[in-house]
Amino acid sequence: MALGTLLSAAASGAASWGLGKLFGGSGNSSTPAPVSAAINAGGLSGSNGTLTADANRTGLVKSVADQFMAQGDALGGLRARLAPGMSDLRTARLAEVENARTSAIGNLRENMARRRVLGSSFGQDALTRAEVEFGQQKDKVAAETLLQEIEGTNQLINQEFEARRGAFQTGLDELNLQADIATKLAASATAQMGANSRLEAELKSKEAAGAGKFFGQAFQPFTNELGKGVSSFFKQAA
C-alpha cells in the first residue's frame, strides 16, 4: 500500500473521531462562567460583598433619624420650661396658702378680741397653733412642687435622650443591615468561586482524559493500515 494511502487512512480516522473528542467528547466544554451573588431590593443593590443604598432609601433613613432628633429638640424645649413653670406653680400655691393664713389669722384675732381673750395665754396659743398649721402647709406645698419638678425633669430627660438615641440608632441599624447583607453576599460569592474552581478542575481532568483517548483512537486506523501495508510489501517482495 502506498504511503499516501496510509496517511489518508490516518486522516480519515482522525476526522471520524472528531477534534471535539479532545475535550471530553462533547466538543462544547468550557470553563463555567462565574455566577455572582447579587441583590437588588429595598433600595439596596450590590454583589460579592459590595452594597449600595439608593437615594430613596438613604433619604427615608435620614428622615426617620431627623424625626427622632426633632422629637428630642421638642422635649429639650419642654425640659427647659419645666423648672420655671414649677417655680411659678410653687409661688402660686404658696400665695394661696399665705392668703388663707392671713384671712384665718385675721378672723381668729377678731373673734378673740370680741371675746376679750386676745392677750390671754389661750388666745396666744390659738394664734400660735394656727401659724404652725399654715407653716406646715407651706412646707408641704414647697416639697410637693419640688418633687414634681424633679420627677418631671427626669422623665423629660429620659424621653429626650431616648429620642436622640433613636436618631443615631436608626443610622446604626441601617449600617448593621447593610453589613450583614454584604457579609452574606461575600460568603455566597466565595462559595460560588470555590464551586467554580472545583468544576473547572473536574473539566480539565476530563479534557486531559479525552485528549489521551483521542490520540489513541484517532491514530488506530493509521497503525492498522501501516501494518497491512508492511505485510503486503514483504509478500510482494517475496
Does some domain include residue 34?
no
Does some domain include residue 184?
yes
Does some domain include residue 26?
no
Residue 54: predicted pLDDT: 87
Does some domain include residue 198?
yes
Residue 99: predicted pLDDT: 93
With CA atoms as reference, report the closest residue to 1 among 180, 163, 233, 236: 233
Residue ranges with strand state E in 165-218: none
Tell me the per-residue pLDDT of 191-227, one tens digit each, with 9 for 90 and over: 777 777 888 888 888 777 766 565 556 556 555 555 5
Does some domain include residue 23?
no
**Containing structural domain, residue 71:** 3-9+53-237
Does some domain include residue 192?
yes
Average pLDDT over residues 7-33: 47
Q: Hunting for cell 450583614 — which residue is that?
A: 180
pLDDT at 111 over 50: yes
Question: CA distances (Å), 187 to each of 34, 66, 79, 122, 180, in order?
Answer: 14, 34, 49, 94, 11
Residue 23: predicted pLDDT: 43
User: If you write DSSP's letter for every residue of 180-195 in order, what string do you get?
Assistant: HHHHHHHHHHHHHHHH
Average pLDDT over residues 127-145: 91
Reduced to 3 states, what is the DSSP secondary structure of residue 52? Answer: strand
- The number of folded domains in the chain is 1
Tell me the per-residue pLDDT of 31-56, one tens digit each, with 9 for 90 and over: 555 555 677 777 888 777 678 888 88
Does some domain include residue 202?
yes
Tell me the per-residue pLDDT of 144-175, one tens digit each, with 9 for 90 and over: 999 999 999 999 999 999 999 999 899 888 98
